[in-house]
Amino acid sequence: MEKYLEFKDGSSQKFWKILAEGNTLTVTYGKIGTQGTQKTKTFDSEEKALKDAKKLIAAKEKKGYKAASSASRQVVTYKLNKEVDPKYGYKFISYEYDDDPEILEFLSNFKAQENSDKVEEIVIGMWEEGYDKSSKHILDFFIENKNHFSNVKHFFIGDIESEENEISWIQQSNFEDFLKAYSHIETLKIRGGNSLTMGTFNLPNLKELTIESGGLDDELIQNIAKSKSSLTSLEYLEIWFGISDYGATVTKETVKELLANNPFPNLKHLGLMNSEIQDDIVVTLENHEILERIKVLDISMGVLKENGGDSLLKNDGLDKLEKLVCDFHYMTEEQTKALRKRFGNKGSFEYSDYYEEAIEDEWYFVEVGE
């Protein structure tokens, strides 16, 4: 058994990898882009080694580490006129200070540097007036310069922390033409759901798709559902649906459409999360055929209540999973106890931070809204 996890939070970018071979565990950890530190431990039996490995993985995931299909490179923030080393990924940030260039100036300056055409990972952080100005000018830049940036395989548009701009304030745009220009990409992460659409796309090489939002429009999920047949390489899918107070309009019917007809043949990790219709999503997954092949199901961060708990308890399809994540939930104490007993270290069932208040006042909220 082998597992590779990454943790990215602002300037902190770490990896953690575990390899179980027989009765031996080897853990490697450190900053992304480095070889890291390696430690090996031997157990009395293979069974004990695997048990400890699963315990360590669960502990890391609880701390915010997430699965990645392969080790990524270290990402550094670009400074004007600095040399470009293609072994790194590059992040671009523009704040609203008087002397701070706008993000297109950073990008144009970067493009003029030697080796910028060999870079494989681009991260777009805060851009000027990102709470009011959409990402369209950024996407247009990359569309116009698609030949120069043809080696980019990994994009993150909207790597913005709440201290810079709340997730519900981030203004995105229509990604359709951008995805046509970069149909070869392997990972795409987008944070912020305002005005976000993807149109029709064909992304046969895409392995990871993450969309984080406090409120997604139903149209976006329809876009993905209509083009899902192209996602034959997808291994990791994570979607934060959000809440209607911040623009979420996704329906259970659209979620059913997204999962209909046995999509995503190589999917290993499915995250349908942070939703006010979390119960409906859980019921949709009841003994669903997609559970036959995924290893991790993440239905955390949403309004998962008693109806969802009942569905989980009778869903035999969950027993084949390596990991079930239901953190930040509002299920009953009896259901939580039963689920913890059933899934043991394979499950994570932490209560919502607002659990007692929510149950008393019948007021429920997702983990990330504004």
Q: Give 75-299's CATH code, choosing from 1.10.10.10, 3.10.129.10, 3.80.10.10, 3.90.1170.40.
A: 3.80.10.10
Local confidence band at 97 (pLDDT 50, 70, 90 cut-offs): low
For position 49, what pLDDT does the model report? 87
Residue 63: burial class (beta carbons within 10 Å; 0-12, 13-18, 19+): exposed
For position 216, what pLDDT does the model report? 92
Report percent pLDDT > 70 for the chain: 96
Measure the CA–CA gap between 311 and 329, rounded to whole angstroms.
Answer: 14
Judge if 2-67 and 75-299 fold alike in CATH terms.
Answer: no
Mean pLDDT of 161-171: 85
What SS3 class is residue 275?
strand
Type of residue numbered 328: F
Mean pLDDT of 341-355: 92
Report the chain's mean pLDDT, rounded to a whole number: 90
For position 63, what pLDDT does the model report? 76
Could you tell me where the DSSP H helices lie in the chain? 46-62, 103-111, 136-144, 176-181, 218-227, 252-259, 278-284, 306-313, 333-343, 355-361
Q: Among 105, 115, 118, which residue's Cα sits nearest to residue 79?
A: 105
Q: Where exactly are the structural domains of the chain? A: 2-67, 75-299
Measure the CA–CA gap between 142 and 185, rounded to whole angstroms.
Answer: 13
For position 362, what pLDDT does the model report? 84
For position 39, what pLDDT does the model report? 85
What sign does the CA torsion over 181, 66, 264, 288 have?
negative
For position 71, what pLDDT does the model report? 55
pTM flag (> 0.85): no
Radius of gyration, alpha carbons of the chain: 21
Local confidence band at 22 (pLDDT 50, 70, 90 cut-offs): confident
> Nearest 5 degrees, angle CA 188-CA 193-CA 194?
135
Q: For residue range 271-293, list pLDDT tens digits in order.
A: 999 999 999 999 999 999 999 99
Mean pLDDT of 135-152: 97
Query: For the chain, percent helix, then strand, then coil, each to nearest 5?
Result: 30, 25, 45
End-to-end CA distance of the chain: 39
Q: Is the pLDDT of residue 96 over 70?
A: no
Q: Is the pLDDT of residue 11 over 70?
A: no
Domain 2-67 has CATH 3.40.50.2300: no
Q: For residue range 194-251, list pLDDT tens digits in order.
A: 999 999 999 999 999 999 999 999 999 999 999 999 999 999 999 999 999 988 899 9
